[in-house]
Structure 1
């Protein structure tokens, strides 16, 4: 979700090709999409399985199995820019959400706290509506079909995500935080920034007073008549309110440079899994480590499919890093990730552990904990931010359209798409 009937639903997700969690598969999907990228603006809004009019690149962009700049450069190399501008803007939306939350990390903390309160306070008929909604038995055919599709495939078309969130909030009157948690649990491209902030946008909290209402006429049109929830939706609901929350952006901390003279190890997290497409592959490391962390999955109640996707993606990245860096790779114990990372650093007598920047979210919190543990041994944890993020995140001070202008000003986006592989673009 970017800004998140009476008929029998089709088989959820029928015909959707399963994703393979590897950089090679991500690049292959990008290559297969590029010839059709000019038709994206015209055809992307149709919500009809097998959803072959969209790129289906988001699970790969989410974990940086492929990079944003690679996706944009690929379509620019083949098509006139004005014909693929909608696709480029959609890629930039993900960067915008990340940058917006990076400048306001307290919004993530507020979401987690509100989610806890909403979960603990769920009772009576609201509890029943919630249980029915996440099980796909709300009685609203489109919502139920999308719930099943999400659970079974880990995917929802962007338009369906927006409709789902709107119906959840304004028709079912359920807490938006629990809907966001349901999405984050099942989406293969689930991201703390884009997911949380998109739900807030639909609710009218991101842009105060401006909410998104799902309308039956719109659903009929873009599902080719597959669903018609006429008379079932609240199309007059008012936006939500919340207690005052400081949304003033904070300055982005300066990026940290790596001391190339210290004994170093490379640590991979599922937030950025293309270390060889960065300056890091030119550094000397004693080893590379990575692995899933059960504590992260448990804290967000992630579905098995989401965990497995991340687990395999990490293994793919470790294999590539081992080959490119010519160093041994270590799979960290996912049952005690912190202790395993600490033990790995000590076993190699490291003085610094280097990792690509992890944005706001549970993995950021785990790295902060690891930083404190390593510091007790005199080992530094150095988080290297990509040039893409350092250049674009500071522009996320207001809405997307000013951010979009910031990204394209004075050829900034052109330069970022042509960064050499030896730079952390």
Structure 2
């Protein structure tokens, strides 16, 4: 139980002081209901304003309860808080070894217990990869928990790979924008409304929209059917996932869709089959009429990879420093513990997010509510933190001016929408004489340089990365 105690799990109803931060280890929750009145949201994507996505955090900081994202079926409840993530980790650790290795590929439905359910927490770094791996290896050997540890590192690998090839993301964003602005395929609307005529596909659409989650194996089947059976553009499928997944991540989502389509590993595709689906869904679905071949898509080549920056801190830190958290990293305590001198210099803190920037079509109410709750939770754990009404540069500038800051420190954001937002913010702050400084976690700085090729060479580095070598 040594690792569990270090995370504060042994006293889940109390808070502990963490100068200059405090960690709130529990929070009661109320169900979140979407705009259509059903728990979990709507099957339609609505364009929502920045204020509507972030505003719930304002009353939460004043003492209200965290919104809770509940599945439509009996199953897990995902509360957007660090305490809930740590509870989920504690519950899963005993099952992360041989049980996970044996059962991980089976999708038993929304009430599934054979996977961790940690991905929404890790994606927002309410719980960090380091914490997850440390907790698992405190209970199991690396050999026993190898498959689960590799799953954690897959997300790290994808981020590192895209960090070295930002043009892949830029081109994807451009293509999604062009597709959504043009004439969409006639059957696209039916597919994303759960009316494709393929029973399994339609069930997965409803599960994704209502819960914000799909099993990893199901995501592969879904993408394969989307691309090779329904013959829809892979970019639209990736965008549909990104708008609805609570764990939607620019690198993991985009590159996984590229892999299925035969673009990520050139010429290697993934073909969903009736037999495989029936086997791993325990006979719940056995769709017929699926594509029998998967010809790899093609594209123009990309520029050569760029190296990962060597320094974890990018920028010069002044005397009047403020900390600005965002949705890529909402756990400041462990981040600043890596840089004690920086932590001591912080005089103001704020949290801002804009999940709508994931897509030109915005995000689902479920994703918006989870992000707002996660932002609010981060504010409760950060001394005197302000939840900004929006992530627009003008709002951040007003906050920095009111606090008389000459430096705004942010957690490093990997390639994706938050990076785009911070690049714009950097230029706006600079024009007002305020520096934007990014702070990268050592976990990323150590691992990302090894993501220059495929996952298998990267996998060989995992034992050394786990032990900090």
Same fold (TM over 0.5): yes
Cα deviation 1:74-99 (Å, max 9, x = unaligned): 11101122111000000000000000
Q: Does 1:225 align with 2:283?
A: yes
Q: Does 1:63 align with 2:124?
A: yes
Matched residue, 2:274: 216
Among candidates 278, 281, 299, match of residue 242 of structure 1? 299
- Cα offset for 1:291? 2.3
**1 or 2, which has the higher helix percentage?**
1
Matched residue, 1:413: 466
Confirm or deny: 8 A CA contact 2:330 2:378 kept in the other structure: yes
Confirm or deny: 8 A CA contact 1:150 1:187 kept in the other structure: yes
Matched residue, 2:408: 353
Matched residue, 1:3: none
SS at match of 1:188: coil
Q: For the residues of structure 2 that align with 1:257 and 1:250, how far apart are their CA atoms?
A: 17
Q: For the residues of structure 1 that align with 2:253 and 2:142, how far apart are their CA atoms?
A: 28
Matched residue, 2:57: none
Q: For the residues of structure 1 that align with 2:242 and 2:355, how far apart are their CA atoms?
A: 16
TM-score by length of 1: 0.89
Matched residue, 2:437: 382
Q: Does 1:48 align with 2:108?
A: yes
Cα deviation 1:129-177 (Å, max 9, x = unaligned): 2111100110001000000000000000001100000000000000000
Matched residue, 1:268: 325
Confirm or deny: 8 A CA contact 1:297 1:307 kept in the other structure: no
Q: For the residues of structure 2 that align with 1:269 and 1:294, how far apart are their CA atoms?
A: 10
Confirm or deny: 8 A CA contact 1:141 1:229 kept in the other structure: yes
Q: For the residues of structure 2 that align with 1:217 and 1:361, how far apart are their CA atoms?
A: 36
Q: Does 1:25 align with 2:84?
A: yes
Confirm or deny: 8 A CA contact 1:260 1:283 kept in the other structure: no
- Structure 1 residue ranges without an equivalent (≥5): 1-11, 323-327, 417-425
- Cα offset for 1:407? 3.3
Q: For the residues of structure 2 that align with 1:215 and 1:188, how far apart are their CA atoms?
A: 27
Among candidates 322, 342, 345, match of residue 284 of structure 1? 345
SS at match of 2:437: strand
Number of equivalent positions: 392
Confirm or deny: 8 A CA contact 2:251 2:415 kept in the other structure: yes
Q: Does 1:76 align with 2:137?
A: yes
Cα deviation 1:184-228 (Å, max 9, x = unaligned): 010000001000000000000000100000011000100111111
Confirm or deny: 8 A CA contact 1:266 1:285 kept in the other structure: yes
Confirm or deny: 8 A CA contact 2:355 2:363 kept in the other structure: no
Cα deviation 1:45-81 (Å, max 9, x = unaligned): 1111212100000000001111111111111101122
Change (3 A) 1:55 1:228: same
Runs of 4+ in 1 over 6 A off after TM superposition: none
Cα deviation 1:283-302 (Å, max 9, x = unaligned): 32111011233762664511
Matched residue, 2:392: 337
SS at match of 2:293: coil
Matched residue, 2:41: none
Q: For the residues of structure 1 that align with 2:356 and 2:88, how far apart are their CA atoms?
A: 31
Which has the larger displacement, 39-48 or 284-293?
284-293
SS at match of 1:330: strand
SS at match of 1:342: helix
Among candidates 81, 96, 108, match of residue 37 of structure 1? 96
SS at match of 1:289: strand
TM-score by length of 2: 0.81
Confirm or deny: 8 A CA contact 1:23 1:65 kept in the other structure: yes
- Cα offset for 1:117? 2.7
Q: For the residues of structure 2 that align with 1:40 and 1:107, how far apart are their CA atoms?
A: 33
Q: For the residues of structure 2 that align with 1:120 and 1:297, how far apart are their CA atoms?
A: 16
Q: For the residues of structure 1 that align with 2:224 and 2:183, how far apart are their CA atoms?
A: 19
SS at match of 1:312: helix
**1 or 2, which has the higher strand percentage?**
2
Matched residue, 1:302: 363
Q: For the residues of structure 2 that align with 1:28 and 1:161, how far apart are their CA atoms?
A: 26
Cα deviation 1:297-344 (Å, max 9, x = unaligned): 66451111101111110111111111xxxxx2212122x622111111
Q: For the residues of structure 2 that align with 1:37 and 1:296, how far apart are their CA atoms?
A: 34
Q: For the residues of structure 1 that align with 2:179 and 2:315, how far apart are their CA atoms?
A: 43
